[in-house]
Amino acid sequence: MTQFTLSRATLASRIAGLVALVVFGGLAAAPWWASSAFLHLAGEFAVYLALATLWNLLAGYTGLVSVGQQAYVGLGGYITFSLALFFGVHPVLAIPLAGLVAALVAVPVAALVFRLSGAYFAIGSWVMAEVFRLIAAQATALGGGSGISLPASVTKALGGKWLREASIFWLALALGAGCLALVYLLLRSRIGLALTAIRDSEVASTSLGIRIGRVKHVLYILVAGLTAMIGALISLQKLRVSPDAAFSVNDWTAFVIFIVVIGGIGTIEGPILGTIVYFLLREFLADFGTLYLLFLGSLAIVVMLAAPKGLWGYAAERFGWSLFPVGYRITFKD
Amino acid sequence: MSDGLVVDAIESYYGDFKALHGVSLTLKPGSVLALIGANGAGKSTLLKSICGLVSPKAGRVSWRGRDITGLRGAQTVGLGIALVPEGRRLFKSLSVEENLILGGQIGRPGPWGLARLYDLFPILAEKRHQPATSLSGGQQQMVAIGRALMSNPDLVLFDELSLGLAPIVIKDIYAQLPKITGQGMSAILVEQDVTRALNAADQFLCLAEGRVSLSGAPRDHSRDAISAAYFGT
Amino acid sequence: MDLLNTVLQGVLVGGLYALFAAGLSLIFGVMRLVNIAHGDLIVLAAYIAMEVIKLTGLPPLAALVFVVPLMAALGYGLQRAVLNRTLGGDLLPPLLVSFGLSVILQNGLLAAFTADSRKLDAGVLETASVSVGGLSIGLLPALMFATAVAVIAALQFMFYKTALGRAFRATSDDAEIAELMGLDRRRVYAWAMALCLGVVAIAGVFLAIRSNFDPFMGPGRLIFGFEAVIIGGLGNLWGTLAGGVILGVAQGLGAAIDPGWQILAGHVAFLLILAVKPRGLFPRMDG
């Protein structure tokens, strides 16, 4: 009789988990050993990792391809600034509040854009972001079209230079790791099973009785809230919001999409690898300006056509790699 | 043999599923082959492999001495192969006549044209300006047959000719079949109703789980043998 | 009278938006493709027109003789070389590849022509107007609107009365079976994209005569075209014209209240219609 064992972890995933812990611990201590340029870069890395992970959760697992996530990045920044400027809320406390408010805003927005399907949903979400941007440009109390900086009185609440830089970095680290952990746990849960089913076949999962519409709806709102928290953090990193920068489709959606596509859509590892590739490319090629963006766009197209599952998907298929075991593996023993 | 259809040990996939495991057949010009087998035996995949909608991963399909393995559907029609697809699949935004015209648009010379088709199925002439999918099931099947004939084919592949049609309509369509195949045209007939298919054909091929389980002339095999081959027992 | 004038100008600008939208509507109808680079291609056409004018000295509208075939050829090539590879049922590849194209076009134009804004000079056509019962109708907006009507009428005729249109409809209905009628879908799609970019060329030249343009204004034009398509109802070309007009009027009324409200008012009109009639005002096709 054939016997088999079910397992989730692989040797690689155990090693990866250990490495992740060590890296996380080392990074948490970074304010004591690293330069402020490093903290800045690492904070930015965490922001992109989080944005990519969230976008991937929507596009890679529920098929909701949004080109309008900058709506929530910008919204998070603007809510944070409003709370700090008009209500005297401590900026750090403003981050979760921004997430909450944005999630509430996402409820009626979802009701509207969910009326569009497929590619039209993508552009509909973009229109939404444009609406947010144009409204922000009308908000004269927040600087209108040219935006506003966080006054020194508010930044003081974050402490001196060292403490301010350290706490913004810690917040970025926490949000980046938190989003990653959340998506990982989500995909291991029962919802994750449903999501994987949707990713693999929407028709089949409908017939399995999974209420796809509802799962998508809830996830869209959750991702909106989390994206706004990241937006709130970005506004503290930059200490400034302006409509064009806070709601930039290039910065907060185009690059994020390229990261996910190049790294590997529909996997947890893909966005991580994609973010690493993106930062490497940026460090080496950013001096070339527009040529760098031309290259990035072409690379995304080539990857999409030649290896639709991205670099990670390609490697995982060839070598059976998995660092974040969300499925089960069956090992047969004779 | 070089003037007919020769399928030699083809292996084809339906998505990731291997639907045909080395299937072979030969069909002489002017003869009718009944292709029978249970659901999922690979009948439709075999027809699609012949007309170019599915590209076999191994083996060879040749037609009139020419290797047509892996040609696209848009190319096989010009060589005289036409398909009457399962479920008819008429173009829903085209009228009856537009469906027929499209069938003949490659301009292959031959006996079939609008006038002759309307002669064969007078009801289509009457309804020619209606949207094709507004017709009854039987009439839609006539359009599907007509659309295939308009390309003046030498080989017609009929997939599930009578599926979903009323018995009286099926009888009508089968009554017209000799008029169609009588022109020296070859045909492969996929049909749920085995008896009807065997009666209309001069040879048959039975598929079970993607393999040929029995073939020959209907009169050379007992019904029991054919039935056993059908169910793969 | 002011209000009437605002509405009239909005209606006429709606013609331009319908030109943005017509190609989008056509390729969605034929191959269910939403091309995110559509707006950037409109801007590309404007730059090509600029170069053609530099080389030949032709007036902008006459330059269309070169720009339309050039863009159509580009569309045919783009579809065969790139976009056809993305079509296969899955939503992501066409969306992401056209998104990549959009970034490439914007930055390619930036590298070639700098971020300076440009404009095509159509001379007296830009300022000429006729006065009808106290309303002043600019010759250029009127010509734009008439062109939109003509283009849509021509597309409508092509789609429903010609062999090419029959091929488009059949391939849209069932591409696999259309293959068996001798219609190679790769070629049919390429023709549709060629036609789409022919219309885009006209839209681009009018855009460049009417206002300044720069490498980054493509996404905005895509959004206007998209809104016109959705307002009018998917797959309905005359509906698309109506959608463009509604968008133009909404923007005009918004601008009359406060210049900062112009674009926003258009988006709000779109969202209102989406909330009330999600399938648009005059839906035709399902999908």
Least confident of A273-277, B10-14, B172-176, C146-150: B172-176
Q: What is the pLDDT of residue A204?
A: 59
- CATH code of A203's domain: 1.10.3470
Number of CB atoms found within 10 A of residue C186's CB: 17
- State the nearest Cα–Cα gap between B112 and chain C, in angstroms: 15
Residue of chain C minimizing CA distance to B103: C181
Q: Tens digit of pLDDT for each residue in C198-242?
A: 999 999 999 999 999 999 999 999 999 999 999 998 878 999 999
Assess whether chains B and C touch, using the rule of 3 or more C-beta pairs within 8 angstroms: yes
| Joined tokens for residue B16 | 């990731």
> Which residues pair with residue B216 across a beta bridge?
B204
- The whole-angstrom separation of Cα C241 and Cα C9 is 15
Q: What is the ipTM of this complex?
A: 0.91
* Cross-chain residue pair C274–A301, CB shorter than 8 Å: no
Q: C178 with C170: CB under 8 angstroms?
A: yes
pLDDT band of residue C286 (cuts 50, 70, 90) is: very low
Half-sphere exposure of A73 (CA within 13 A, CB side): 31
pLDDT over threshold 90, residue A31: no
Q: What does the mean pLDDT of chain C come to? A: 93
- DSSP per-residue codes, A125-158: HHHHHHHHHHHHHH-GGGTGGG-EEPPHHHHGGG
- The whole-angstrom separation of Cα C112 and Cα C44 is 11
* Helices (H) then strands (E): counts for chain A: 17, 4
Least confident of A181-185, A186-190, A218-222, C250-254: A186-190
Instruction: Say how many CB pairs under 8 Å bridge B and C.
Output: 60
- DSSP per-residue codes, A34-96: S-HHHHHHHHHHHHHHHHHHHHHIIIIII----S-THHHHHHHHHHHHHHHHHH---HHHHHH
Q: Tens digit of pLDDT for each residue in B196-221?
A: 888 889 899 999 999 999 888 888 88
Q: What is the pLDDT of residue A16?
A: 79
Chain A residues whose beta carbon lies within 8 Å of the beta carbon of residue C32: 118
- What chain C holds in terms of domains, given with CATH numbers, is 2-115+139-276 (1.10.3470)
pLDDT band of residue B107 (cuts 50, 70, 90) is: confident
Chain C residues whose beta carbon lies within 8 Å of the beta carbon of residue A294: 103-104, 107-108, 111
Q: Tens digit of pLDDT for each residue in C39-92?
A: 999 999 999 999 999 999 999 999 999 999 999 999 999 999 999 999 887 888
Q: CB distance from B218 to chain C under 8 Å? A: no
pLDDT over threshold 70, residue A6: no
- What chain B holds in terms of domains, given with CATH numbers, is 5-231 (3.40.50.300)
Phi-psi domain of C45 (left: phi exceeds 0; alpha: psi -120 through 50; beta: other) = alpha
- The whole-angstrom separation of Cα B26 and Cα B132 is 35
- Number of domains making up chain A: 1
